[in-house]
Amino acid sequence: MQQPGQQPQTVSVIGLGYIGLPTAAVLAKNGVNVIGVDVNASAVATINAGDIHIVEPGLADVVKRAVHDGLLRAVTSPEPADAYVITVPTPFTADYDADLSYIKAAAQALAPHLSAGNLIILESTSPVGTTEQLADWLAEARPDLSFPKTHGDDADIQLAYCPERVLPGQVMHELVQNDRVIGGLSAKANAQATALYNTFLKGDCLLTNARTAEMAKLTENSFRDVNIAFANELSLICDHLSINVWELIRLANHHPRVNILQPGPGVGGHCIAVDPWFIVASAPEQARMIRTAREVNDFKPDWVYQQVQRTIQAAAQQTGKAVDAVNVTCLGLAFKANIDDLRESPALAIAQRIAAAHSGTTMVVEPNLPATAQPVANATLTALDEALSEADVVVLLVDHTPFKAITRAQLEGKLWVDTRGLIDG
Ligand code: SAJ
């Protein structure tokens, strides 16, 4: 049993993905006995062998050591623990509402193992009210136990929401250094959750209630989405008015209170393009700007694709070649610079659309994938220099570091669409 302010001895982390596994590993590294739970039996076997099934710098060594020291063990169904941390996915449904089925499944799986004194922390990005919903599901499954809604600090089971806020690629650093927002369903839950995070956290624990903590996570990612939408909208306006958007933003950002983000081919990844919809679904009449920002960012890949089509036609005219003799090279497929993650990547979607429609040759360059990968149907993964020299049209989609070295000489006689400002900026 965990008392307020006392560190839990055994913590179960449910969902061993991009957030759960690093969290389990960091807890174990700091002496906590960790039981990791995942329905994916192959991931569980990999972890128990001291290996990892995801790509994240610095994670492999910590997992290997934790498993070797006997502090981290993975299983496919929950076991009794002092505290449970839920880090399962919350995708959105076809009508842009949150799909809470993974959280519900986790609640049903852990409910039989609960005992008085347990703490449950939800970390999955969730719409406002989800922690209360989680408590209701658990209360239904365990009528013999009391919960904060009716018993507050005296409840048998305490619950808190504590969003993850780490940047993919920097998870091991940010997990320890970033401040945490903790929103308990009671003051006691806040004290218990603070003790749990303080086993490894160097940042501060900022205490609030569950609804505010849930909204804080959605707000952070919506803030970024709205700001990126502003930059993307500027790129369309500037194209219409024949202004170089990169120069414009650089100049405007000299103002001491202006800090415009960078346009791109659209917003990718599994967070920023998803989370704002949870706010829109909860408050559709009020969330007008947040919805519009999503629509602006989601439209950008279409706009880029249309530009590419026009540029292919222009290249055919300029070179006197038939359209099916025009070679197109797409630079970058990942959802942002210097990572290999293709999930929800607008660059990948644009390259796929070009390759599917173009009757000539399409080449794709992605320096972060192995040379044997075949990420785009009807396109060949090609080395940068060859793909550039063969191209009539270059489509720059991701600002990977190797692309920054491309020279004007390499683009001589070619046309291009630059979505990241590496050429035009
Ligand atoms: N992007 C632009 N222009 C910019 C900045 C980003 O087009 O000026 C694009 C990127 O190319 C990418 C997308 O936005 O396609 C998202 O990239 P990102 O680096 O902004 O964010 P993520 O998705 O890698 O991580 C975000 C982070 N949230 C914030 O910065 C508010 C991270 O801290 C969160 O933990 C993460 O979402 C999450 O898990 O929610």
Is 238 in the active site? no
pLDDT band at 140 (very low <50, low <70, confident <90, very high): very high
Per-residue model confidence (pLDDT) at position 104: 98
Judged against a pLDDT cut of 80, whether residue 80 lies above it is answered with yes
Q: What is the residue whose two structure tokens read 């009508």?
A: 95
Q: What is the residue whose two structure tokens read 């305490």?
A: 158
Per-residue model confidence (pLDDT) at position 340: 84
Averaged pLDDT for residues 201-217: 98
| Catalytic choice (217, 300, 336, 414) | 217
Averaged pLDDT for residues 147-172: 95
Per-residue model confidence (pLDDT) at position 338: 87
Per-residue model confidence (pLDDT) at position 76: 98
Residue of 55, 90, 167 best suited for mutating to test ligand 1, as the one with most atoms within 8 Å of CB: 167
Is 217 in the active site? yes
The single-letter DSSP state of residue 324 is G
pLDDT band at 324 (very low <50, low <70, confident <90, very high): very high
- 222: helix, strand or coil: helix
**Which residue ranges have their beta carbon within 6 Å of ligand 1?**
125, 164-168, 220-221, 224, 228, 261-262, 264, 267-269, 271-272, 335-336
**Are 399 and 422 spatial neighbours (Cβ–Cβ below 8 Å)?**
yes
Per-residue model confidence (pLDDT) at position 3: 67
- List Cβ neighbours of 38 (8 Å cut-off, separation of 6 or more): 14, 15, 16, 17, 20, 44, 74, 76
Between the CA of 253 and the centroid of ligand 1 the distance, in Å, is 20
Per-residue model confidence (pLDDT) at position 95: 85
Per-residue model confidence (pLDDT) at position 256: 98
Distance CA 64, CA 49 (A): 8
pLDDT band at 309 (very low <50, low <70, confident <90, very high): very high
Distance CA 296, CA 298 (A): 6
